[in-house]
Amino acid sequence: MADMSHWEQCVLNCSACPLCATRTQVVCGNRNYDATIALIGEAPGREEDRLGTPFAGSAGAVLDQFLADSGIDRRKLYITNTVKCRPYTPTEKGGRNRKPKKSEIDACKPFLMAEMLVIEPQLIVTLGATPLSVVMDGKLPKMEDEHGRLRRWELVGGIEVFPLYHPAALIYDRSKTAAYRQDMENLRLLLTQRGLI
Ligand code: SF4
């Protein structure tokens, strides 16, 4: 099993960006350190911040659908987010989730890279532009061009990355649904060819 204890200790005590002041807790990955596939989302939302678990609450439904569509066994999957603390805009009702800022993504990038280097998944799947921007070294990707295009993340040893639209984006733009479904089919094919499912 990969030794993540040092990594976890660092991230749990992190104050490298202002999100440390407003988090309930740091949300690490799902601790499935022997996983062969990694799924990277954007950032913890309210439920994840409350529970300390990635892909909880409404994001849990996203994960369940992803597992059903891809055919990946949950036990083979490491799930994490690009930033580990919840970004939100304060409201009277406990805050509205927001996208992480570039400065927050940059501050958290070493943690994401470190966990990929230790886990060494055979494939990384990214959801939406935020995690892909880290893979692309800070460049904001045009998802219309990048989705479904296999690339390598050279800074973590050339691990292959399969970029997907974020499923939440489909709620607001149904025109992307067909492309997302095609990507999922291609991903499933790739995973089968590689013997990963
Ligand atoms: S989001 Fe990342 S960099 Fe910012 S405080 Fe949390 S762990 Fe540290």
Cβ(161) to ligand 1 under 6 A?
no
pLDDT digits (tens, 9 = 90+) for 25-72: 999 999 999 999 999 999 999 999 999 999 998 889 889 999 999 999
pLDDT digits (tens, 9 = 90+) for 147-157: 999 999 999 99
For the chain, domain boundaries: 16-193
> What pLDDT, on the 0 to 100 scale, is given for residue 6?
84
Instruction: Find the 29 Cα to ligand 1 centroid distance in Å.
Output: 13
Cβ(107) to ligand 1 under 6 A?
yes
Q: Evaluate whether 159 touches 190 at the Cβ level (below 8 Å).
A: no
pLDDT exceeds cutoff 70 at 91 = yes
3-state secondary structure 167-191: HHHHHHCHHHHHHHHHHHHHHHHHH
Instruction: Find the 152 Cα to ligand 1 centroid distance in Å.
Output: 25
The residues near 48 (Cβ < 8 Å, ≥ 6 apart) are: 27, 54, 55, 56, 57, 59, 81, 86
Strand, helix or coil for residue 195: coil
pLDDT exceeds cutoff 80 at 123 = yes
Q: How far apart are CA 167 and CA 164, in angstroms?
A: 8
pLDDT exceeds cutoff 60 at 1 = no
Average pLDDT over residues 168-186: 91
> What pLDDT, on the 0 to 100 scale, is given for residue 172?
81
Percentage, residues of the chain above pLDDT 90: 85
Q: How far apart are CA 47 and CA 147, in angstroms?
A: 28
> What pLDDT, on the 0 to 100 scale, is given for residue 94?
82
Cβ(112) to ligand 1 under 6 A?
no
Cβ(26) to ligand 1 under 6 A?
yes
pLDDT exceeds cutoff 70 at 2 = no
Instruction: Find the 132 Cα to ligand 1 centroid distance in Å.
Output: 18
CATH architecture of 16-193: 3-Layer(aba) Sandwich (3.40)
Q: How far apart are CA 195 and CA 191, in angstroms?
A: 6
HSE (side-chain half, CA atoms, 13 Å) at 39? 28
> What pLDDT, on the 0 to 100 scale, is given for residue 193?
96
Q: Evaluate whether 20 touches 14 at the Cβ level (below 8 Å).
A: yes
Q: Evaluate whether 84 touches 14 at the Cβ level (below 8 Å).
A: yes
> What pLDDT, on the 0 to 100 scale, is given for residue 19?
98
From the CA of 83, give the closest atom in ligand 1: 1
Testing ligand 1's pocket by substitution, the residue of 7, 108, 115 carrying the most ligand atoms inside 8 A of its CB is 108
Backbone φ/ψ region at 161: left (φ over 0), alpha (ψ -120 to 50), beta: beta
